[in-house]
Amino acid sequence: MKKIIVTSEKAGNRVDKFLMREVFLNLDKTRGEIIRYIKAGNILVNGKIAKPSYLLKEGEEIKINIKKEKAEIIPNKNIKLEIIYQDKNIIVVNKPSGMSVHPNDVEKENTLVNALVANFPEIKNINDGSVGSWMRPGIVHRLDKDTSGAMVVARNQKTFIELKRKFAQREIEKNYVAVVYGHLEKKSGVVDEPIARSASFKKQKIARGKIKGTSRPAVTEYKLLKRYGDFDFVEALPKTGRMHQIRVHLAYLGNPIVGDAKYKRKNLIKPAGVNRQLLHAQKLKFELFGKEFSFQAPLPADFQRFLDEIGKKG
């Protein structure tokens, strides 16, 4: 059981938002899950069940008693994996858009991990032992649900540890492509702007104005690949790995990604036939155990179709 005493600086915060920011931010828990814990009595304020919207007072005690989750993933052989490469140490897949990387409170069976465990059962116990890590076996990096592209997965613990280190030390080159609204002011450049959670928790933002929590450094290189009428096709190379980093940085430039409902401006209209943000992890390049690797994930059909359509319009 974990106990927290509310300080004067934290008084006045909603209990659900306080817990999301101060306790569960890096533990793969959604605010919805936290609300369910509160309503179920797993989280108490001064020994009583409080409403998620309850405003905390200085000196109050929060008790958190959440039972350990059953560490079991449901294998799903019905999900077809597009495997780019595999050997004894790694699996490289082209993740489709619309698929979450690992199980969560909402989706437990139809994620990339469910498919991986069905096809590569040896990965199911590969993790770093942190809270909730059993849900992410072999996973050393992630893509947003609606972002497609190349992902590398570890097949053994030694490889898992080494790849995690390489991602942390920025030794892995990641190249993304995206279609953005409008035209870049500069055809190439670097966005070096820290990112933080917005006060609403609904999205990330450049760490200016009203934010919650700590801002974190974020750097993205970008360049124009081709101009199409009212859109630009761009390449983005993230040098750090913050949540939604490319999406936030391109929106900061004034060129949000087409189809990105979270970060686009209200006056921008989503083109017909676009059902997700047109962001694709196209390339991965790294060295592992003395061998150089370079992988490329082909553009998915919906992405290529949109490029073809805007190409016809000039």
The residues that bridge with 62 in the sheet, in sequence order, are 4, 45
Residue among 273, 272, 247, 267 at smallest CA distance from 180: 247
DSSP H or E segment with residue 2: strand 2-5
What tokens were used for 6? 């509310």
- Give the whole-angstrom CA distance, residue 189 versus residue 196: 22
Query: How long is the chain?
Result: 314
Could you tell me the strand order of the sheet in which 195-198 lies? 204-206, 195-198, 211-216
Residue 195 amino acid letter: I
Q: What torsion, rounded to 10 degrees, do the Cα atoms 130, 135, 137, 142 define?
A: -90
Q: What are phi and psi of 309, to 5 degrees?
A: -65, -45
- Give the whole-angstrom CA distance, residue 279 versus residue 299: 10
Count of beta carbons in the 10 Å neighbourhood of residue 1: 7
What tokens were used for 82? 């597009």
Catalytic residue (one of 16, 105, 128, 144)? 144
Residue among 166, 177, 176, 139 at smallest CA distance from 155: 139
What tokens were used for 293? 């690797």
144 included as an active-site residue: yes
Residues 102/127, Cβ–Cβ less than 8 Å: no
- Give the whole-angstrom CA distance, residue 216 versus residue 207: 8
Catalytic residue numbers?
144
